Chains A and B, each alone.
Chain A
Amino acid sequence: MSTTSEPTTQHPEIDPLTPVLSADWGEKRSWTRAVYETGGGYDALRRGLREMTPEQVLTEVKESGLRGRGGAGFPTGMKWGFIPQENPNPKYLVVNADESEPGTCKDTPLMMASPHLLVEGVILASYAINAHHAFIYVRGEILHVVRRLQQAVAEAYEAGYLGRDILGTGYDLEVVVHAGAGAYICGEETALLDSLEGRRGQPRLRPPFPAVAGLYASPTVINNVESIASVPGIVRHGAEWFASMGTEKSKGYVLYSLSGHVREPGQFEAPLGITLRELIDMAGGIREGHELKFWTPGGSSTPILTAEHLDVPLDYEAVGAAGSMLGTRALQVFDETTSVVRAVLRWTEFYKHESCGKCTPCREGTWWLVQTLKRLEAGQGEEGDIEKLVDLCDNILGRSFCALGDGATSPITSAIEHFRGEFEAGMHTPAWELFPYRASSVFAPEVTPA
């Protein structure tokens, strides 16, 4: 695929890629405090704690337009502002580092290469909401990231950036690195809180929202890793600088993660609003001799899109208008060798496995979805199976405590919308005959269309 197009950001003078979060990743020993500080690391902490009040830090983040990078896109400063400061209970900051949405792979390299960026953000965010205890809830299945975080926190204590009387300002903060134990649902913020309290990770009914009754029933802010890691840049360079990147309502820089059938998958940090066409170009194009078939804009819970959406600006508004969600910018790219039915079945099996079992529509519904999709993959679909899938999705969507069930329906309904013919073919022909699976793999022999 050979493409060219103008950047679609609101600010044409801004470069197509803007590494800030990823700026240090190429440095040797980038995970150490010494290297981090060489590049100006912890300057924002000094500015924030010495020259600004907590309210001023909060205002700066509000004015920057930073929105949550964990998928939902809620304005971060506003979330902080919901903390009732008059509430006598302690305030808590919890970082959601339980990265596990299929396709999402941005927080993991960030924490591995630049754990101090997260730690600095944690201190500034905690200061802004008057928290004296913060937790980094990191998924347990990324062991080396856990090590790097533990060490960064220890180094920050040694440097006097954590603990009592930070930088002589009188501000105290304790940070705990907490490893999870393998449960996708704990990426959902209220399930994460239950898990952090030592319970089964099951979502809570809201209201009350965590800002009012979160961890230990106390006011709690839960933010994604990338959101918190964006804070030092905002405090150091100012809200205006941050907001000069991105689009009108989607400000700043984000990590776009390209995976799948592109020549050079990887992380691309760009202002919000870049298009998939531009990103695929940067990733060297779709693999040789193939073409784009479908893709997810923000993980498997966001409805799939196709080649007709290549020029949609990847910001919160435009992707929403295209019928999907920006999510975590987990751009999983699949070429024409890929069976949509196979892909969707596998995602559905994931949701069935990860459903926490609390709500019946999700627990039972995902089971039924898998049964039906398995028939279709095997070419043994029955008359009415497609309608059954749509009907099941209709009965799951919006009927559970959290968004896991909703997410489970996204790939199915969107795939039926865009590729109904493949589901119909599942009434008589196995998916692996229509799309021999080996042809999709990276170790398939070089395929040139016969």
Chain B
Amino acid sequence: MTQQQSRQVQTPPISEDVRAELVEIGTRYPQARSGLLPMLHLVQSVQGRVTAEGIEACAEVLGLSTAEVSGVATFYTMYKRRPVGDYHVGVCTNTLCAVMGGDEIFERLKDHLDVGNDETTEPVDGLKDITLEHVECNAACDYAPVVMVNWEFMDHQTPESAVQLVDDLRQGNEVRSTRGPRICTFRQAERVLAGFPDGLADEGPSAGIASLNGLQLAQLNGWGPPPGRVGTDADRAQAVADQDRAAAQATAEDGQEGAAATQASPAGTKHDDAPGTGDEAQ
């Protein structure tokens, strides 16, 4: 496959099915325009960026001008005008992570991948593409320095571990988030952000080690809040009754619509805990 062909394959058109999903996103909200951000995520899940075609499709669905949709798309940094590779690697270089080593990690990755900020690796047969970017604080400061891959946490990185990480990604090796699931592609991630669950919620730990430091110290010392009301047997009986009632109602309403349905995970998508993710809660 030539590079040219590979680029073409990467931009499938906005099909009728995608259009139907765009419309469906709008129905989640009292006013359809509220769905514009998830709609643009859906466009990226199909085309790897926000294309002119994607903007036109959103505008059409919402009855807006393309200028209005463009105005929104260009405001938010997660929407990309240039094609994003299979994996988006974001190195936090806000102050805390930068000081803790994020700057050095970012420099090393730029050098290793031979790209600048917000640039994508040259396509090579047999290797996945990576788009490298420095990102702002990603709410994981207690795990600094932090790297995000397709917006999944890769905690406690070093320049060496980050190089290994991108090498694994490029070669298509399975990579797991330190506090999440197997890393999926950028486009799959964008589909989840558009509100279409991928069934991976049950992977990964409850919490990473840093999140548990206070809790474990409290448990070690027997510390906790003052005693409150304790759930009674009546509470438990009521809970069971409520569950029976919900099950009966679900059976009765089976097959019916509901705005809720668009939010629901597909049934039967339970997964085992991710084994051996290092930071797993004990």
Chain A interface residues (CB < 8 Å from chain B): 13-20, 22-32, 37, 40, 42-43, 46, 90, 99-105, 107-109, 112-113, 133, 139-144, 146-148, 150-151, 153-154, 157-160, 162-163, 167-168, 174-184, 195-201, 216, 233, 236-238, 241, 244-245, 253, 256-260, 264-270, 282-283, 300, 330, 332, 334, 338, 342-343, 346-347, 350, 353-354, 356, 437-438, 440-443
Q: Is the CB of A147 within 8 A of B192?
A: yes
Q: Is the CB of A109 within 8 A of B208?
A: yes
> Beyond A104-B139, A112-B207, is A238–B36 a contact (Cβ under 8 Å)?
no
Q: What are 29 A-B residue pairs whose CB atoms fall within 8 Å in the complex?
A: A18-B223, A25-B212, A30-B207, A43-B239, A46-B238, A102-B96, A105-B139, A141-B90, A144-B180, A144-B200, A159-B243, A160-B246, A162-B260, A167-B242, A174-B259, A179-B193, A180-B78, A198-B34, A198-B62, A238-B229, A241-B229, A257-B141, A259-B141, A266-B212, A267-B213, A282-B214, A300-B95, A330-B141, A350-B95
Number of A-B pairs, beta carbon distance below 8 Å: 350
> Beyond A181-B76, A183-B75, A338-B99, is A19–B218 a contact (Cβ under 8 Å)?
yes
Query: For A330, what are the chain B residues with a Cβ–Cβ distance below 8 Å?
Result: 141
Q: How far is the CB of A96 from chain B (nearest CB, A)?
A: 13
Q: How far is the CB of B76 from chain A (nearest CB, A)?
A: 4
User: Chain A: which residue is nearest B238 at the CB level?
Assistant: A46
Q: How far is the CB of B262 from chain A (nearest CB, A)?
A: 9
Q: How far is the CB of A132 from chain B (nearest CB, A)?
A: 10
Question: Residue among A183, A198, A354 with the most chain B CB within 10 A?
Answer: A198
Query: For A176, what are the chain B residues with a Cβ–Cβ distance below 8 Å?
Result: 28-29, 263
A376 to B104, CA, bound (A): 21
Interchain CB contact (< 8 A) of B137 among A24, A100, A356: A100
> Beyond A174-B259, A198-B34, A260-B141, is A440–B211 a contact (Cβ under 8 Å)?
no
A353 to B94, CA, bound (A): 11
Query: For A42, what are the chain B residues with a Cβ–Cβ distance below 8 Å?
Result: 239
Query: For A146, what are the chain B residues with a Cβ–Cβ distance below 8 Å?
Result: 192-193
Q: How far is the CB of A335 from chain B (nearest CB, A)?
A: 10
Q: Is the CB of B40 within 8 A of A443?
A: no
Chain B interface residues (CB < 8 Å from chain A): 28-31, 33-38, 40-41, 62, 71-72, 75-79, 90, 93-96, 98-101, 103-104, 135-145, 148, 150-153, 156, 158-159, 177, 179-181, 189, 192-195, 197-198, 200-202, 204, 206-219, 221, 223-226, 228-229, 231, 235, 238-239, 242-243, 245-246, 249-250, 258-260, 263-265, 273, 281-282
Q: How far is the CB of B227 from chain A (nearest CB, A)?
A: 8
Q: Is the CB of A142 within 8 A of B142?
A: no
Query: For A32, what are the chain B residues with a Cβ–Cβ distance below 8 Å?
Result: 202
Query: For A46, what are the chain B residues with a Cβ–Cβ distance below 8 Å?
Result: 235, 238-239, 242
Q: How far is the CB of A239 from chain B (nearest CB, A)?
A: 11
Q: Is the CB of A105 within 8 A of B260?
A: no
Apart from the given pairs A181-B78, A238-B228, 11 other A-B contacts in the complex at a CB distance below 8 Å:
A109-B208, A153-B263, A159-B246, A160-B249, A177-B195, A183-B75, A197-B34, A267-B215, A346-B94, A350-B136, A356-B75
Q: Is the CB of A19 within 8 A of B214?
A: yes
User: Chain B: which residue is nearest A237 at the CB level?
Assistant: B228
Query: For A334, what are the chain B residues with a Cβ–Cβ distance below 8 Å?
Result: 99
Q: Is the CB of A178 within 8 A of B246?
A: no
Q: Is the CB of A178 within 8 A of B228?
A: no
> Beyond A25-B207, A159-B246, is A112–B179 a contact (Cβ under 8 Å)?
yes
A163 to B259, CA, bound (A): 9
Q: Is the CB of B137 within 8 A of A101?
A: yes
Q: Is the CB of B35 within 8 A of A236?
A: no
> Beyond A196-B34, A260-B96, is A266–B229 a contact (Cβ under 8 Å)?
no
Counting from the closest, the 8 A-B pairs by CB-CB distance are A237-B228, A266-B213, A198-B36, A160-B246, A268-B214, A259-B141, A441-B101, A181-B76
Interchain CB contact (< 8 A) of A267 among B62, B138, B214: B214
A9 to B213, CA, bound (A): 21
Q: Is the CB of A245 within 8 A of B226?
A: yes
Query: For B209, what are the chain A residues with a Cβ–Cβ distance below 8 Å?
Result: 266
Query: For B206, what are the chain A residues with a Cβ–Cβ distance below 8 Å?
Result: 24-31, 112-113
Interchain CB contact (< 8 A) of B211 among A13, A25, A37, A442: A25
A163 to B246, CA, bound (A): 11
> Beyond A144-B181, A267-B210, is A441–B104 a contact (Cβ under 8 Å)?
yes
Query: For B40, what are the chain A residues with a Cβ–Cβ distance below 8 Å?
Result: 181
Q: How far is the CB of A80 from chain B (nearest CB, A)?
A: 21
User: Chain B: which residue is nearest A107 at the CB level?
Assistant: B139
Interchain CB contact (< 8 A) of B99 among A100, A158, A258, A440: A440
